[in-house]
Structure 1
Amino acid sequence: MRSAARFTVFTAAAAVAALTAVTGCAQKSDAGDGAIKVAASDTACDVSKKETPAGKVQFEVENKGSKVTELYVYFPDGRIVTEKENIGPGTKASITAEIKPGEYEVACKPGMKGDGIRQKLKVTGEGGEKRSPELDAAVAEYRKYVQAQADETLPKTQVFVDAVKAGDVEAAKKAYAPSRIGWERTEPVAESFGDIDPKTDTRQDGLEAGQAWTGWHRLEKALWADNKIGDEEKKLADQLITDLTDWQKRVGTAEITPTSMANGAKELLDEVATGKVTGEEEAYSHTDLVDFKANVEGAQKAYELLKPSAAKNDPALTKQLDTQFVALNALLDKYRADKNGYEFTSYDKVGAPERKELSDGVNALAEPLSKLAAAVTK
């Protein structure tokens, strides 16, 4: 979900970093711990290092600007290596990623819009982080999982699209939420390609200047707010299938590491906190709890695959995560019409006290989940 008011999701303006930057001023780095300090503001994105060894790389961001910002690290082809969104003014955030040798760009996005303010980053060495066979197996299984979710999304979306093209509003409404489940479970991987998410999952409030509004949420508005399907919507339905087919074909090429799995699990919880719990994500259909459940399922899948390694390094953390996943799923089940299905209470029927309870449950899980990446890379 791309939105100006979103996530989950962290970056920032910042302070003191050393750099030889675009300004041409060379300053002494205080990143003695090896982390790359990112000083983000409304007009700058200064990094303390322009070169770093391959492997586990930590970014520490401080936002001293007046706008919420984001931090992205990009491959040369525009794919996202890692990201941290919704970093509020005056706040700090950190993220760890496994990065291979090569040329990259670090971008701060004040206002969470546009291409951002960018700096070059060179990653040197012969190879990346060496992993245990256990972690390699976790990555392989997660790769199968994300591919399966993409494969399963296409036929479900085709049902939705067929209903739209037939002009059957009620059938399209019924098929809408199920068509999004696989996407919501694996959204951080889908977003890593950079160009697919804006076409398929952007809300109206997240549009960039000059961007055409396409995808699920444009059709959602037509179905629930306008209660009609015209020729434009039928064309948009075909375009949604085209864009999701592109995702399905490319998802196998996604860069997946243990840290990206762990960070992605946290991003999914941030998605819930800033979009689903607030009711902003599905503003017309009010099917937020379906997305909510799918986000939690995707985060839990990544966690379960990483758990054997994390438990060796931080058993107290995995115990806490087990408890909080159970608690949050139990909260969601209160709004579930059937035990194993995806019929949930319309979110506009969920009152403020209940939303607060759900929000508290998300926060209770998100805090320990933010430590998962560190636990699997110790």
Structure 2
Amino acid sequence: MRPLRLSVVTAAATVAALTAVTGCTEKSSAKGGDGAIEVTATDSKCEVSKKEFPAGHVELAIENKGSKVTEVYILFPDDRVVTERENIGPGTQQKVTAEVKAGDYEIACKPGMKGDGIRQKVTATGSGKVAKRDPRLDKAVADYRKYAQEQADATIPLVKVFAEAVKDGDIEAAKKAYAPSRIGWERTEPVAESFGDIDPEVDARADGLEKGQKWTGWHALEKALWQDKKIGAEQKTLADQLVTDLTDWQKRVGKAEITPTSMANGAKELLDEVSTGKVTGEEERYSHTDLVDFKANVEGAQKAYELLKPVAQENDKTLTTELDKQFAALDTLLDTYRADKNSYDFVSYDKVGESDRKKLSDAVNALAEPLSKLATAVVK
């Protein structure tokens, strides 16, 4: 789930952590290449340097001049996500590369990472097609689409087991089924988030709700099981709705807009999810199953990277060497928190001390910085 929470670490420490994750500093320039679209975000504005640009590989050079953490999107007219970059701290800059076909879009900035955002209408001009790309990238997209569908298909039986335990009133069985039911979702979360409407229904946290939004999904049930320790009629209804919503996701995965750059940016988003939700313990605040989500996020990011690696390695061998090193280091570190490397039996996150959380955070940051360069390497 997207929203950044400041309750576990101080705001200053969070901004510092985000700077480390993104590989950006306050001194860095927001200026992109000659064809870059400069996006200046504040707490009340979202200014773009161009409202019309050629279709193809588009670079956003983003600068957050506001006081709130923000996120920036390129959106289709129906609010599906072309690409996004979350957790852009105040006073920092980021660059995002996306593949955009000819057509009308909106660029949205979301100060505070909430709401519909401040939007600018933009148009990509051209024949409606991007330049012909390397056939290996077409294969990477096809293979990733298959992977995303497999993860969704595998999730439905697991979430049904979870839902049935809830409806049976069996708290212990529901607790046991909870974390496994989330793995496929966490591995491919950027694809699910690209639809816009499913993520808030199934993965919202209590303090991430929009005004008037009813709390549904996994985390509402998580609270009932671990904190409230009771299952009532409302929870049984929520369990049925969770199955319905995730079945909708399963059916829509095949229609997701997936490109090589969205795969690369999605891998980076998964690391941001780890940094802002799992490392802090905010994602699974009642069950403390954060390390299960953590591992699934990393696996999803690594899958996208491995599919793109043949082209990225040819274009930037230094980058892929560093990514291989940092993925291996993070995997090795995660292995120390589970019974064996083939299981998802991780230690409860409330048992992980601050020094160990710092080690995990440092390992994520060391991976996220080079991973932020993957999209650029893919389209060189």
What is the TM-score with the length of structure 1 in the denominator?
A: 0.93
What is the CA-CA distance between 1:133 and the residue it aligns to?
0.7
Mapping 1:92-131, distance limit 5 Å: 92-126=93-127, 127-131=129-133
Find the counterpart in structure 2 of residue 27 from structure 1.
Answer: none
After superposing the two structures, state which structure 1 stretch, 126-135 or 263-272, moved more.
126-135
Identity within the alignment, %:
73
Distance in 2, Cα, partners of 1:218 & 1:66: 30
Mapping 1:1-378, distance limit 5 Å: 1-5=1-5, 33-126=34-127, 127-378=129-380
What is the one-letter code of the residue matched to 1:146? A
Distance in 1, Cα, partners of 2:342 & 2:205: 29
**SS state at 2:5 partner:** coil
What is the one-letter code of the residue matched to 1:115? D
1:197-231 deviations in Å (ceiling 9; x for gaps): 00000111110111110000000000000011000
What is the CA-CA distance between 1:85 and the residue it aligns to?
1.1
Distance in 1, Cα, partners of 2:43 & 2:370: 30
Distance in 2, Cα, partners of 1:198 & 1:163: 23
Distance in 2, Cα, partners of 1:31 & 1:294: 33
Distance in 1, Cα, partners of 2:249 & 2:363: 32
What is the CA-CA distance between 1:72 and the residue it aligns to?
1.0
What is the one-letter code of the residue matched to 1:279? G
Distance in 2, Cα, partners of 1:5 & 1:95: 23
What is the CA-CA distance between 1:32 and the residue it aligns to?
6.5
Count of residue correspondences: 361
What is the CA-CA distance between 1:2 and the residue it aligns to?
3.4
**SS state at 2:357 partner:** helix
> Which 4+ residue blocks in structure 1 deviate beyond 4 angstroms?
6-10
Distance in 1, Cα, partners of 2:313 & 2:42: 38
What is the one-letter code of the residue matched to 2:41? A
* Aligned 8 A contact 1:259 1:373 in 2: yes
What is the CA-CA distance between 1:129 and the residue it aligns to?
3.3
**SS state at 1:312 partner:** helix
Unpaired runs of at least 5, structure 1: 15-29
What is the one-letter code of the residue matched to 1:222? A
- 1:288–1:115 distance in 2 versus 1, CA, 3 Å: same
Distance in 1, Cα, partners of 2:332 & 2:39: 39
- 1:133–1:235 distance in 2 versus 1, CA, 3 Å: same
**SS state at 1:71 partner:** strand
What is the one-letter code of the residue matched to 2:117? G
What is the CA-CA distance between 1:339 and the residue it aligns to?
2.6
* Aligned 8 A contact 1:4 1:205 in 2: no
What is the CA-CA distance between 1:55 and the residue it aligns to?
0.6
What is the TM-score with the length of structure 2 in the denominator?
A: 0.92
Distance in 2, Cα, partners of 1:32 & 1:331: 37
* Aligned 8 A contact 1:76 1:105 in 2: yes
- 1:326–1:222 distance in 2 versus 1, CA, 3 Å: same
Find the counterpart in structure 1 of residue 10 from structure 2.
Answer: none
- 1:195–1:53 distance in 2 versus 1, CA, 3 Å: same
Distance in 2, Cα, partners of 1:80 & 1:365: 24
Distance in 2, Cα, partners of 1:48 & 1:31: 11
Distance in 2, Cα, partners of 1:57 & 1:5: 30
* Aligned 8 A contact 2:61 2:96 in 1: yes
Distance in 2, Cα, partners of 1:93 & 1:326: 26
1:72-120 deviations in Å (ceiling 9; x for gaps): 1110111011111111111111111000111001111111111111100
- 1:322–1:66 distance in 2 versus 1, CA, 3 Å: same
- 1:325–1:31 distance in 2 versus 1, CA, 3 Å: closer
Unpaired runs of at least 5, structure 2: 7-13
Find the counterpart in structure 2 of residue 21 from structure 1.
Answer: none
Distance in 2, Cα, partners of 1:68 & 1:311: 33
**SS state at 2:77 partner:** coil
- 1:361–1:32 distance in 2 versus 1, CA, 3 Å: closer
Distance in 2, Cα, partners of 1:31 & 1:49: 13
**SS state at 2:179 partner:** helix
What is the CA-CA distance between 1:3 and the residue it aligns to?
2.5
**SS state at 2:341 partner:** coil
Over aligned residue pairs, what C-alpha RMSD do you find? Answer: 1.7
What is the one-letter code of the residue matched to 1:2? R
Distance in 2, Cα, partners of 1:2 & 1:158: 24
What is the one-letter code of the residue matched to 1:61? I
* Aligned 8 A contact 1:2 1:203 in 2: no
**SS state at 2:72 partner:** strand
Distance in 2, Cα, partners of 1:218 & 1:350: 24
